[in-house]
Chains A and B, each alone.
Chain A
Amino acid sequence: MGDDIMSYNGGVALAMKGKECVAIACDKRYGVQNKTIATNFTKIFQYVLFENVSFFLKVQTVSERLRFRTNLYELREQRKLKPLVLYNMLTNLLYERRFGPYFVYALVIGLDPKTGETYVFDSDNIGAISDNVNLATVGTASDYIFGLGELFFKPNMNADELFEATSQALLNGVDRDSASGWGAVVYVVEKDKVTVRELKGRQD
Protein backbone atom coordinates (compact mmCIF):
# COMPACT_ATOMS: atom_id res chain seq x y z
CA MET A 1 0.00 0.00 0.00
CA GLY A 2 2.90 2.36 0.49
CA ASP A 3 3.66 4.11 3.72
CA ASP A 4 2.49 7.62 2.96
CA ILE A 5 -0.32 9.13 4.96
CA MET A 6 -2.43 10.22 2.00
CA SER A 7 -2.96 6.62 0.92
CA TYR A 8 -3.53 5.32 4.45
CA ASN A 9 -7.29 5.12 4.07
CA GLY A 10 -7.60 5.20 0.31
CA GLY A 11 -10.58 6.49 -1.57
CA VAL A 12 -11.27 8.55 -4.63
CA ALA A 13 -13.58 11.23 -5.98
CA LEU A 14 -14.29 12.55 -9.43
CA ALA A 15 -16.19 15.59 -10.65
CA MET A 16 -17.23 16.45 -14.17
CA LYS A 17 -19.08 19.30 -15.82
CA GLY A 18 -21.91 19.19 -18.29
CA LYS A 19 -24.34 21.70 -19.75
CA GLU A 20 -26.08 23.29 -16.74
CA CYS A 21 -25.35 20.18 -14.71
CA VAL A 22 -22.42 18.92 -12.65
CA ALA A 23 -21.69 15.45 -11.34
CA ILE A 24 -19.58 14.32 -8.44
CA ALA A 25 -18.86 10.68 -7.67
CA CYS A 26 -16.92 8.85 -4.99
CA ASP A 27 -16.18 5.29 -3.99
CA LYS A 28 -17.53 3.77 -0.77
CA ARG A 29 -14.58 2.08 0.84
CA TYR A 30 -13.32 2.85 4.31
CA GLY A 31 -10.16 0.93 5.04
CA VAL A 32 -6.89 1.05 6.90
CA GLN A 33 -4.13 0.18 4.46
CA ASN A 34 -4.96 -3.33 3.27
CA LYS A 35 -7.85 -3.95 5.64
CA THR A 36 -11.32 -2.96 4.46
CA ILE A 37 -13.41 -1.92 7.42
CA ALA A 38 -16.61 -0.59 5.88
CA THR A 39 -18.15 -0.43 2.44
CA ASN A 40 -20.68 2.33 2.98
CA PHE A 41 -18.46 5.31 3.62
CA THR A 42 -19.38 7.94 1.06
CA LYS A 43 -17.17 10.91 1.18
CA ILE A 44 -19.56 13.54 -0.13
CA PHE A 45 -20.86 16.19 2.20
CA GLN A 46 -23.52 18.59 1.14
CA TYR A 47 -23.07 22.27 1.47
CA VAL A 48 -23.28 23.15 -2.04
CA LEU A 49 -21.64 19.81 -2.54
CA PHE A 50 -18.25 19.18 -1.12
CA GLU A 51 -16.08 16.14 -1.11
CA ASN A 52 -13.12 14.92 0.90
CA VAL A 53 -11.04 11.81 0.59
CA SER A 54 -8.05 10.19 2.15
CA PHE A 55 -7.99 10.45 5.90
CA PHE A 56 -11.24 9.75 7.65
CA LEU A 57 -10.78 11.59 10.94
CA LYS A 58 -9.51 14.65 9.23
CA VAL A 59 -12.38 14.43 6.79
CA GLN A 60 -14.81 14.68 9.65
CA THR A 61 -12.88 17.49 11.29
CA VAL A 62 -12.52 19.55 8.14
CA SER A 63 -16.11 18.91 7.19
CA GLU A 64 -17.41 19.97 10.60
CA ARG A 65 -15.19 23.05 10.77
CA LEU A 66 -16.30 24.12 7.32
CA ARG A 67 -19.91 23.56 8.26
CA PHE A 68 -19.39 25.86 11.24
CA ARG A 69 -18.01 28.62 9.05
CA THR A 70 -20.68 28.29 6.39
CA ASN A 71 -23.46 28.35 8.97
CA LEU A 72 -22.06 31.52 10.48
CA TYR A 73 -21.79 33.09 7.04
CA GLU A 74 -25.40 32.29 6.25
CA LEU A 75 -26.58 33.70 9.57
CA ARG A 76 -24.60 36.88 9.26
CA GLU A 77 -25.20 37.55 5.58
CA GLN A 78 -28.74 36.18 5.56
CA ARG A 79 -28.20 34.57 2.20
CA LYS A 80 -27.08 31.26 0.77
CA LEU A 81 -23.44 30.56 -0.05
CA LYS A 82 -22.15 30.67 -3.58
CA PRO A 83 -19.86 27.80 -4.66
CA LEU A 84 -16.88 30.07 -5.17
CA VAL A 85 -17.26 31.46 -1.65
CA LEU A 86 -17.39 27.96 -0.18
CA TYR A 87 -14.28 27.01 -2.11
CA ASN A 88 -12.37 30.03 -0.89
CA MET A 89 -13.45 29.31 2.68
CA LEU A 90 -12.20 25.77 2.33
CA THR A 91 -8.82 26.69 0.89
CA ASN A 92 -8.42 29.27 3.62
CA LEU A 93 -9.25 26.67 6.25
CA LEU A 94 -6.69 24.29 4.82
CA TYR A 95 -3.95 26.91 4.53
CA GLU A 96 -4.43 27.88 8.18
CA ARG A 97 -2.81 24.54 8.87
CA ARG A 98 0.00 25.05 6.36
CA PHE A 99 2.73 23.62 8.65
CA GLY A 100 0.69 20.81 10.14
CA PRO A 101 -1.78 20.09 7.41
CA TYR A 102 -5.03 18.21 7.35
CA PHE A 103 -4.61 15.00 5.37
CA VAL A 104 -7.44 15.59 2.97
CA TYR A 105 -7.77 16.38 -0.68
CA ALA A 106 -10.83 18.39 -1.49
CA LEU A 107 -13.16 18.62 -4.43
CA VAL A 108 -15.92 21.19 -4.58
CA ILE A 109 -18.74 21.36 -7.09
CA GLY A 110 -21.59 23.80 -7.41
CA LEU A 111 -24.32 25.05 -9.67
CA ASP A 112 -25.97 28.46 -9.75
CA PRO A 113 -29.71 27.75 -10.16
CA LYS A 114 -30.47 31.12 -11.74
CA THR A 115 -27.74 31.32 -14.36
CA GLY A 116 -27.01 27.62 -14.72
CA GLU A 117 -23.32 28.28 -14.32
CA THR A 118 -21.31 25.25 -13.20
CA TYR A 119 -18.31 25.11 -10.89
CA VAL A 120 -15.78 22.35 -10.32
CA PHE A 121 -12.75 23.07 -8.16
CA ASP A 122 -10.15 20.83 -6.60
CA SER A 123 -7.53 21.43 -3.96
CA ASP A 124 -4.50 19.70 -2.49
CA ASN A 125 -4.17 19.33 1.25
CA ILE A 126 -2.81 22.81 1.93
CA GLY A 127 -5.40 24.71 -0.06
CA ALA A 128 -3.93 25.33 -3.49
CA ILE A 129 -6.52 27.18 -5.55
CA SER A 130 -7.47 25.74 -8.92
CA ASP A 131 -9.36 27.20 -11.83
CA ASN A 132 -12.92 26.25 -12.59
CA VAL A 133 -12.10 23.06 -14.51
CA ASN A 134 -14.10 20.62 -16.63
CA LEU A 135 -12.86 17.54 -14.87
CA ALA A 136 -11.17 16.97 -11.52
CA THR A 137 -10.15 13.88 -9.59
CA VAL A 138 -8.61 13.37 -6.17
CA GLY A 139 -7.54 10.29 -4.28
CA THR A 140 -5.41 7.19 -4.57
CA ALA A 141 -6.84 6.13 -7.96
CA SER A 142 -6.81 9.64 -9.43
CA ASP A 143 -4.10 8.88 -11.98
CA TYR A 144 -6.13 6.04 -13.47
CA ILE A 145 -9.40 7.96 -13.40
CA PHE A 146 -7.92 11.05 -15.04
CA GLY A 147 -7.13 9.12 -18.19
CA LEU A 148 -10.60 7.63 -18.41
CA GLY A 149 -12.22 10.94 -17.50
CA GLU A 150 -10.44 12.75 -20.31
CA LEU A 151 -11.55 10.02 -22.67
CA PHE A 152 -15.22 10.09 -21.72
CA PHE A 153 -15.57 13.83 -21.28
CA LYS A 154 -17.34 15.80 -24.02
CA PRO A 155 -18.28 19.47 -23.71
CA ASN A 156 -21.95 20.34 -23.07
CA MET A 157 -23.19 16.89 -22.06
CA ASN A 158 -26.72 16.58 -20.74
CA ALA A 159 -27.44 15.04 -17.34
CA ASP A 160 -27.75 11.43 -18.55
CA GLU A 161 -24.60 11.49 -20.65
CA LEU A 162 -22.78 13.16 -17.79
CA PHE A 163 -23.89 10.45 -15.37
CA GLU A 164 -22.72 7.73 -17.76
CA ALA A 165 -19.34 9.36 -18.37
CA THR A 166 -18.69 9.97 -14.66
CA SER A 167 -19.70 6.53 -13.53
CA GLN A 168 -17.76 4.69 -16.23
CA ALA A 169 -14.61 6.70 -15.54
CA LEU A 170 -14.84 6.07 -11.81
CA LEU A 171 -15.78 2.39 -11.87
CA ASN A 172 -13.11 1.39 -14.34
CA GLY A 173 -10.46 3.55 -12.71
CA VAL A 174 -10.92 2.09 -9.24
CA ASP A 175 -10.49 -1.44 -10.61
CA ARG A 176 -6.81 -0.65 -11.01
CA ASP A 177 -6.36 0.62 -7.45
CA SER A 178 -6.36 -1.68 -4.48
CA ALA A 179 -7.33 1.04 -1.97
CA SER A 180 -10.55 2.26 -3.56
CA GLY A 181 -13.73 0.80 -4.90
CA TRP A 182 -16.27 -1.44 -3.25
CA GLY A 183 -19.14 0.41 -4.91
CA ALA A 184 -19.72 4.03 -5.84
CA VAL A 185 -22.16 6.91 -5.41
CA VAL A 186 -22.86 9.56 -8.04
CA TYR A 187 -24.58 12.88 -7.39
CA VAL A 188 -25.81 14.71 -10.49
CA VAL A 189 -26.73 18.31 -9.72
CA GLU A 190 -29.05 20.12 -12.09
CA LYS A 191 -30.84 23.45 -11.81
CA ASP A 192 -33.97 22.02 -10.24
CA LYS A 193 -32.88 18.73 -8.65
CA VAL A 194 -30.07 16.57 -7.32
CA THR A 195 -30.13 12.92 -8.37
CA VAL A 196 -28.23 10.44 -6.22
CA ARG A 197 -27.46 7.04 -7.69
CA GLU A 198 -25.60 4.13 -6.14
CA LEU A 199 -23.46 2.10 -8.50
CA LYS A 200 -22.76 -1.58 -8.38
CA GLY A 201 -19.01 -2.03 -8.50
CA ARG A 202 -16.44 -4.73 -7.92
CA GLN A 203 -16.40 -5.71 -4.25
CA ASP A 204 -12.77 -6.73 -4.10
Chain B
Amino acid sequence: MALASVLGFKSNDAFNRSLRCDKNDDTIDELCPKLNVENISQFITLPPYADPAKYLKMVSDNVDRVKIQFLKGTTTLAFKFRNGVIVAVDSRATAGGFIASGEVKKVIEINPYLLGTMAGGAADCAFWERVLARHCRIYELRNKEKISVAAASKILANMVFEYRGMGLSMGTMIVGWDKRGPGLYMVSDDGERISDNLFSVGSGSIYAYSILDAGYKYEMSTIDAIDLARRAIVHAAHRDAASGNIVRIYHMKETGWEKIEEKDTNDYMYQYREDKTMNF
Protein backbone atom coordinates (compact mmCIF):
# COMPACT_ATOMS: atom_id res chain seq x y z
CA MET B 1 0.00 0.00 0.00
CA ALA B 2 2.78 2.40 0.86
CA LEU B 3 4.57 1.61 -2.40
CA ALA B 4 1.39 2.09 -4.33
CA SER B 5 0.79 5.52 -2.84
CA VAL B 6 4.40 6.62 -3.45
CA LEU B 7 4.06 5.66 -7.09
CA GLY B 8 0.80 7.56 -7.29
CA PHE B 9 -1.28 4.48 -7.96
CA LYS B 10 -4.86 5.09 -6.98
CA SER B 11 -6.87 2.00 -6.27
CA ASN B 12 -10.60 2.21 -5.86
CA ASP B 13 -11.48 -0.68 -3.63
CA ALA B 14 -13.24 -0.15 -0.30
CA PHE B 15 -10.13 -0.57 1.83
CA ASN B 16 -8.19 2.01 -0.12
CA ARG B 17 -11.05 4.41 -0.19
CA SER B 18 -11.18 4.31 3.56
CA LEU B 19 -7.45 5.01 3.84
CA ARG B 20 -7.52 8.22 1.91
CA CYS B 21 -6.78 11.34 3.94
CA ASP B 22 -9.50 13.35 2.36
CA LYS B 23 -11.99 11.36 4.38
CA ASN B 24 -13.79 13.11 7.17
CA ASP B 25 -16.21 11.91 9.82
CA ASP B 26 -19.38 12.19 7.75
CA THR B 27 -18.09 10.31 4.76
CA ILE B 28 -16.63 7.46 6.82
CA ASP B 29 -20.11 6.88 8.14
CA GLU B 30 -21.46 6.30 4.63
CA LEU B 31 -19.85 2.89 4.71
CA CYS B 32 -21.61 2.05 7.95
CA PRO B 33 -24.30 4.65 8.53
CA LYS B 34 -24.98 5.94 12.03
CA LEU B 35 -28.26 4.91 13.58
CA ASN B 36 -30.41 7.99 14.02
CA VAL B 37 -34.04 8.96 13.76
CA GLU B 38 -33.99 9.66 10.00
CA ASN B 39 -32.51 6.39 8.77
CA ILE B 40 -33.93 4.18 11.47
CA SER B 41 -35.89 2.08 9.00
CA GLN B 42 -32.59 0.66 7.72
CA PHE B 43 -31.89 -0.85 11.10
CA ILE B 44 -35.23 -1.68 12.65
CA THR B 45 -38.49 -2.63 11.03
CA LEU B 46 -40.93 -0.01 12.15
CA PRO B 47 -44.59 -0.85 12.58
CA PRO B 48 -46.59 -0.16 9.42
CA TYR B 49 -48.81 2.61 10.75
CA ALA B 50 -48.57 6.34 11.09
CA ASP B 51 -48.17 6.98 14.79
CA PRO B 52 -46.43 4.04 16.44
CA ALA B 53 -46.28 5.67 19.86
CA LYS B 54 -50.01 6.23 20.07
CA TYR B 55 -50.95 2.86 18.64
CA LEU B 56 -48.57 0.85 20.75
CA LYS B 57 -49.69 2.64 23.86
CA MET B 58 -53.16 1.19 23.20
CA VAL B 59 -51.77 -2.30 23.36
CA SER B 60 -50.49 -1.88 26.86
CA ASP B 61 -53.66 -0.04 27.91
CA ASN B 62 -55.98 -2.99 27.45
CA VAL B 63 -58.08 -1.70 24.56
CA ASP B 64 -60.12 -4.44 22.84
CA ARG B 65 -59.09 -6.95 25.51
CA VAL B 66 -55.56 -7.03 24.15
CA LYS B 67 -53.02 -6.38 26.82
CA ILE B 68 -49.29 -6.92 26.65
CA GLN B 69 -47.87 -6.10 30.01
CA PHE B 70 -44.11 -5.97 30.36
CA LEU B 71 -43.33 -6.57 33.98
CA LYS B 72 -39.81 -6.32 35.21
CA GLY B 73 -39.83 -9.73 36.85
CA THR B 74 -36.29 -10.01 38.00
CA THR B 75 -33.84 -8.91 40.67
CA THR B 76 -30.69 -7.06 39.71
CA LEU B 77 -28.52 -4.97 41.97
CA ALA B 78 -25.27 -3.04 41.89
CA PHE B 79 -23.43 -0.97 44.45
CA LYS B 80 -20.19 0.97 44.70
CA PHE B 81 -17.80 0.37 47.55
CA ARG B 82 -14.19 1.21 48.20
CA ASN B 83 -12.77 -1.54 45.97
CA GLY B 84 -15.01 -0.95 42.94
CA VAL B 85 -18.54 -2.01 42.05
CA ILE B 86 -20.33 -5.28 42.73
CA VAL B 87 -23.05 -6.38 40.31
CA ALA B 88 -25.35 -9.29 41.17
CA VAL B 89 -28.34 -10.66 39.24
CA ASP B 90 -30.71 -13.62 39.28
CA SER B 91 -31.42 -15.67 36.16
CA ARG B 92 -35.14 -16.31 35.92
CA ALA B 93 -37.30 -15.28 32.96
CA THR B 94 -41.05 -15.47 33.45
CA ALA B 95 -43.81 -15.12 30.90
CA GLY B 96 -46.92 -14.59 33.02
CA GLY B 97 -46.69 -17.41 35.53
CA PHE B 98 -44.63 -19.72 33.36
CA ILE B 99 -40.91 -19.86 34.04
CA ALA B 100 -39.59 -19.61 30.52
CA SER B 101 -35.97 -20.03 31.51
CA GLY B 102 -33.85 -20.37 34.63
CA GLU B 103 -30.56 -19.63 32.96
CA VAL B 104 -30.86 -16.17 31.45
CA LYS B 105 -27.69 -14.08 31.38
CA LYS B 106 -28.87 -10.82 32.83
CA VAL B 107 -25.46 -9.19 32.92
CA ILE B 108 -24.43 -7.99 29.49
CA GLU B 109 -20.70 -7.68 28.99
CA ILE B 110 -20.53 -4.55 26.87
CA ASN B 111 -16.74 -4.51 26.82
CA PRO B 112 -13.99 -5.56 29.24
CA TYR B 113 -14.49 -2.48 31.43
CA LEU B 114 -18.24 -1.86 31.07
CA LEU B 115 -21.14 -4.01 32.23
CA GLY B 116 -24.87 -3.57 31.74
CA THR B 117 -27.66 -5.36 33.60
CA MET B 118 -30.93 -6.52 32.12
CA ALA B 119 -34.37 -5.96 33.62
CA GLY B 120 -37.62 -5.69 31.71
CA GLY B 121 -37.78 -6.85 28.14
CA ALA B 122 -34.84 -9.12 27.42
CA ALA B 123 -34.78 -8.23 23.74
CA ASP B 124 -34.84 -4.51 24.44
CA CYS B 125 -31.97 -4.69 26.91
CA ALA B 126 -29.83 -7.02 24.82
CA PHE B 127 -30.31 -5.07 21.59
CA TRP B 128 -29.77 -1.56 22.91
CA GLU B 129 -26.80 -2.53 25.01
CA ARG B 130 -25.22 -4.07 21.93
CA VAL B 131 -25.80 -0.82 20.04
CA LEU B 132 -24.20 0.92 23.00
CA ALA B 133 -21.20 -1.42 22.71
CA ARG B 134 -20.82 -0.35 19.10
CA HIS B 135 -20.89 3.34 20.02
CA CYS B 136 -18.36 2.78 22.80
CA ARG B 137 -15.98 1.01 20.44
CA ILE B 138 -16.20 3.73 17.81
CA TYR B 139 -15.55 6.35 20.50
CA GLU B 140 -12.50 4.43 21.62
CA LEU B 141 -11.16 4.19 18.09
CA ARG B 142 -11.70 7.85 17.30
CA ASN B 143 -10.49 9.32 20.57
CA LYS B 144 -7.81 6.79 21.54
CA GLU B 145 -9.13 6.57 25.05
CA LYS B 146 -11.78 4.53 26.82
CA ILE B 147 -15.24 6.02 27.04
CA SER B 148 -16.35 7.24 30.46
CA VAL B 149 -19.24 5.56 32.25
CA ALA B 150 -21.09 8.87 32.33
CA ALA B 151 -20.82 9.21 28.56
CA ALA B 152 -21.78 5.60 27.87
CA SER B 153 -24.87 5.79 30.07
CA LYS B 154 -25.78 9.13 28.48
CA ILE B 155 -25.59 7.58 24.99
CA LEU B 156 -27.92 4.78 26.07
CA ALA B 157 -30.34 7.13 27.81
CA ASN B 158 -30.54 9.38 24.76
CA MET B 159 -31.09 6.46 22.38
CA VAL B 160 -33.89 5.14 24.52
CA PHE B 161 -35.46 8.57 25.01
CA GLU B 162 -36.17 8.74 21.28
CA TYR B 163 -38.47 5.75 21.69
CA ARG B 164 -40.20 7.11 24.76
CA GLY B 165 -43.83 6.04 24.92
CA MET B 166 -43.43 3.35 22.26
CA GLY B 167 -43.39 0.52 24.73
CA LEU B 168 -39.74 -0.28 25.31
CA SER B 169 -39.22 -1.90 28.66
CA MET B 170 -35.75 -1.56 30.09
CA GLY B 171 -34.37 -0.99 33.57
CA THR B 172 -30.65 -1.30 33.24
CA MET B 173 -27.62 -0.34 35.30
CA ILE B 174 -24.44 0.68 33.51
CA VAL B 175 -21.38 -0.17 35.57
CA GLY B 176 -17.79 0.65 34.77
CA TRP B 177 -14.46 2.00 35.89
CA ASP B 178 -13.07 5.09 34.20
CA LYS B 179 -10.51 7.77 35.11
CA ARG B 180 -12.91 9.22 37.67
CA GLY B 181 -13.05 5.87 39.47
CA PRO B 182 -15.93 3.41 39.71
CA GLY B 183 -19.11 4.47 37.91
CA LEU B 184 -22.71 3.31 38.40
CA TYR B 185 -25.70 4.72 36.53
CA MET B 186 -29.26 3.51 36.36
CA VAL B 187 -30.92 4.03 32.97
CA SER B 188 -34.55 3.20 32.31
CA ASP B 189 -36.91 3.09 29.37
CA ASP B 190 -38.46 6.47 30.10
CA GLY B 191 -35.05 8.08 29.64
CA GLU B 192 -34.26 8.39 33.32
CA ARG B 193 -30.54 8.38 34.08
CA ILE B 194 -29.29 8.75 37.64
CA SER B 195 -26.09 8.02 39.47
CA ASP B 196 -25.84 6.81 43.03
CA ASN B 197 -23.90 4.37 45.19
CA LEU B 198 -26.52 1.64 45.38
CA PHE B 199 -29.30 0.47 43.06
CA SER B 200 -31.61 -2.47 42.68
CA VAL B 201 -34.02 -2.95 39.79
CA GLY B 202 -36.85 -5.39 39.22
CA SER B 203 -39.80 -6.95 41.00
CA GLY B 204 -37.50 -8.46 43.63
CA SER B 205 -35.70 -5.19 44.25
CA ILE B 206 -37.86 -4.41 47.28
CA TYR B 207 -36.50 -7.47 49.06
CA ALA B 208 -32.94 -6.86 47.87
CA TYR B 209 -33.06 -3.24 49.09
CA SER B 210 -33.87 -4.32 52.65
CA ILE B 211 -30.90 -6.66 52.80
CA LEU B 212 -28.60 -4.11 51.15
CA ASP B 213 -29.71 -1.21 53.34
CA ALA B 214 -29.16 -3.28 56.45
CA GLY B 215 -25.60 -4.29 55.60
CA TYR B 216 -24.14 -1.69 53.25
CA LYS B 217 -21.02 0.28 54.18
CA TYR B 218 -18.81 1.99 51.63
CA GLU B 219 -15.71 0.78 53.49
CA MET B 220 -16.65 -2.92 53.20
CA SER B 221 -14.06 -5.43 52.17
CA THR B 222 -14.49 -7.23 48.86
CA ILE B 223 -15.44 -10.51 50.56
CA ASP B 224 -18.14 -8.78 52.62
CA ALA B 225 -19.44 -6.91 49.60
CA ILE B 226 -19.78 -10.11 47.58
CA ASP B 227 -21.50 -11.81 50.51
CA LEU B 228 -23.95 -8.92 50.88
CA ALA B 229 -24.80 -8.95 47.19
CA ARG B 230 -25.26 -12.70 47.24
CA ARG B 231 -27.54 -12.60 50.28
CA ALA B 232 -29.64 -9.85 48.77
CA ILE B 233 -30.26 -11.83 45.59
CA VAL B 234 -30.94 -15.04 47.53
CA HIS B 235 -33.47 -13.35 49.80
CA ALA B 236 -35.16 -11.73 46.83
CA ALA B 237 -35.24 -15.07 45.01
CA HIS B 238 -36.92 -16.64 48.01
CA ARG B 239 -39.67 -14.07 48.44
CA ASP B 240 -40.25 -12.91 44.88
CA ALA B 241 -41.93 -15.45 42.65
CA ALA B 242 -40.46 -13.92 39.51
CA SER B 243 -36.83 -14.17 40.63
CA GLY B 244 -34.66 -17.15 41.31
CA ASN B 245 -32.65 -20.02 39.89
CA ILE B 246 -28.99 -18.91 39.51
CA VAL B 247 -27.20 -15.96 41.12
CA ARG B 248 -24.40 -14.36 39.11
CA ILE B 249 -21.95 -11.95 40.69
CA TYR B 250 -19.44 -9.69 38.95
CA HIS B 251 -16.81 -7.39 40.44
CA MET B 252 -15.82 -4.24 38.53
CA LYS B 253 -12.23 -3.33 39.32
CA GLU B 254 -9.75 -0.82 37.95
CA THR B 255 -8.47 -3.49 35.55
CA GLY B 256 -11.92 -4.32 34.25
CA TRP B 257 -14.69 -6.66 35.37
CA GLU B 258 -14.20 -10.10 36.85
CA LYS B 259 -16.91 -12.76 37.10
CA ILE B 260 -16.97 -13.94 40.68
CA GLU B 261 -19.50 -16.74 40.66
CA GLU B 262 -22.55 -18.35 39.14
CA LYS B 263 -24.32 -20.63 41.64
CA ASP B 264 -27.80 -21.96 42.36
CA THR B 265 -29.76 -19.78 44.79
CA ASN B 266 -31.56 -22.80 46.22
CA ASP B 267 -28.30 -24.27 47.55
CA TYR B 268 -27.53 -20.98 49.29
CA MET B 269 -31.01 -20.87 50.80
CA TYR B 270 -30.56 -24.20 52.50
CA GLN B 271 -27.06 -23.18 53.60
CA TYR B 272 -28.42 -19.95 55.12
CA ARG B 273 -31.14 -21.93 56.86
CA GLU B 274 -28.39 -24.06 58.45
CA ASP B 275 -26.60 -21.06 59.91
CA LYS B 276 -29.90 -19.47 60.91
CA THR B 277 -29.62 -16.37 58.76
CA MET B 278 -32.71 -17.38 56.85
CA ASN B 279 -36.00 -18.81 58.09
CA PHE B 280 -38.32 -21.05 56.20
Contacts and interface: CB of A to CB of B under 8 A. Distances in A.
Among A1, A10, A140, residue most surrounded by chain B Cβ atoms (within 10 Å): A1
B82 to A, nearest CB: 31
Nearest to A177: B97
Interface in B98-121: 98-99, 102
A63 to B, nearest CB: 24
Interface string B253-272: 00000000000011001100
B96 interface: yes
Among B92, B238, B265, residue most surrounded by chain A Cβ atoms (within 10 Å): B238
Contact of B238 (A7, A33, A36, A179): A36
Contacts of A204: 92, 237-238, 243-245, 265-266, 269
Contact of B96 (A2, A36, A183): A2
B10 interface: no
Contacts of A182: 280
A2 B73 CA distance: 12
Contact of A178 (B242, B265, B266, B280): B242
A184 to B, nearest CB: 13
A78 interface: no
Contact of A179 (B239, B241, B265, B270): B241
Interface residues of B, number: 24
Contacts, number: 63
Interface of B: 71, 73, 92, 94, 96-99, 102, 203, 237-245, 265-266, 269-270, 280
Given A34-B240, A178-B242, A202 B266 contact: yes
Interface string A141-153: 0000000000000
B240 A177 contact: no
Contact of A35 (B239, B265, B269): B239
A39 B280 contact: yes
Given A36-B239, A36-B240, A175 B97 contact: no
Among B71, B99, B244, residue most surrounded by chain A Cβ atoms (within 10 Å): B99
